[in-house]
């Protein structure tokens, strides 16, 4: 049985699965097995949990047990046997994140890079949800017991603005805005290479990769996906060219920005799934952030606008480029 990410409520949750089967793509060639599995299952399994499964023999490669320092090869077949999960109560914890706005219906927060949004098998503590339960008195129940308040989410390594629902009415109204594409979502990314045009719209359907099932890909018959981008800066370096992009999402598919940019030959710096050079530049997280969010308040109808500064890990990378290389 193949593993399916849980962005879609029709997909199979871990509690109903006995094993996860992954095939190693070219860009992951040479990665340590624990790093590959953690990146491939980036929203759900912690690296510590993966390492425990390796030591217990619950992760095998090409039918054989492996050591924690094993480095994967292209097209290796990795099978992860998932133990029967316990579903503990979600415990409120003092997790670090900033609340930008709060009233009786919504909270708008700044999610740091590296923070998982909600708990899951092997990762029940230290998530954004644990922190929300600690700091907010009320959260909506529409998302279930492990996703209270969560209307939308960001990938673990993507820093940015999120809106959280504090009651079910607000949750339903916000969900309608996302579904009807009435929410403005502006991202910023540093990519390897440069687009052919300074401004463009990528309209390519996205679906599950037919071979590497932890990945999404541009796929005929996939779901409609539309990404708009504008080039802000370009740096020519001896190693390669980098570009800074502003990005607007017109749809909200799994890994949409990452897939679309990679599909036109400009993957995001540090992306462990969609960039063959993901570990070359030694960045702690992929260089993608959700900088701006605009929506209508679910009760008052007032337009709400929130914007965060450029995250430190992205600013540091850009500063290094600007000190050393030509800006176009």
Residues taking part in catalysis: 155
- Which tokens is 210 given? 């037919």
Tokens 């992205």 sit at which residue? 314
Angle, CA of 215, 220 and 225, to the nearest 5°: 70
Q: Are 266 and 194 in contact (CB under 8 A)?
A: yes
Is residue 178 exposed (0-12), middle (13-18) or buried (19+ Cβ within 10 Å)? middle
Q: Which of 215, 217, 216, 158 is nearest to 188 (CA)?
A: 158
Q: How many CB atoms lie within 10 A of CB 273?
A: 25
Q: Are 31 and 69 in contact (CB under 8 A)?
A: no
């Amino acid at each position: 049985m193949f593993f399916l990410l849980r962005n879609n409520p029709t997909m199979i949750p871990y509690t109903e699965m006995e094993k996860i089967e992954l095939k190693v793509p070219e860009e992951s060639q040479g990665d340590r097995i624990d790093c590959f599995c953690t990146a491939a299952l980036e929203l759900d399994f912690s690296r510590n949990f993966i390492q425990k499964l390796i030591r217990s023999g619950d992760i095998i490669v090409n039918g054989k047990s492996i050591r924690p320092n094993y480095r994967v090869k292209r097209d290796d077949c990795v099978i992860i046997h998932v133990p029967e999960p316990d579903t503990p109560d979600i415990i409120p914890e003092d997790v670090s994140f900033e609340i930008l706005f709060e009233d009786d219906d919504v909270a708008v927060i700044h999610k740091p890079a590296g923070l998982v949004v909600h708990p899951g098998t092997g990762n029940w503590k230290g998530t954004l949800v644990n922190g929300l339960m600690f700091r907010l008195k009320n959260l909506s129940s529409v998302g279930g017991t492990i996703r209270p308040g969560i209307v939308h989410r960001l990938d673990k390594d993507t820093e940015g603005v999120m809106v959280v629902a504090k009651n079910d009415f607000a949750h339903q109204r916000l969900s309608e805005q996302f579904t009807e594409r009435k929410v403005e979502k502006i991202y910023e990314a540093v990519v390897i290479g440069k687009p052919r045009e300074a401004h463009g719209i990528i309209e390519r359907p996205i679906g599950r990769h037919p071979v590497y099932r932890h990945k999404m890909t541009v796929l005929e018959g996939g779901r409609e996906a539309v990404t708009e981008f504008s080039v802000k800066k370009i740096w020519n370096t001896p190693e390669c060219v980098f570009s800074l992009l502003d990005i607007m999402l017109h749809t909200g598919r799994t890994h949409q920005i990452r897939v679309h940019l990679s599909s036109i030959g400009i993957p995001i710096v540090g992306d462990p799934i969609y960039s063959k050079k993901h570990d070359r530049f030694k960045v702690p997280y992929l260089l993608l952030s959700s900088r701006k969010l605009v929506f209508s308040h679910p009760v008052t109808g007032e337009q709400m606008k929130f914007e965060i500064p450029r995250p430190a890990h992205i600013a540091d990378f850009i500063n290094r480029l600007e000190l050393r290389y030509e800006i176009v």
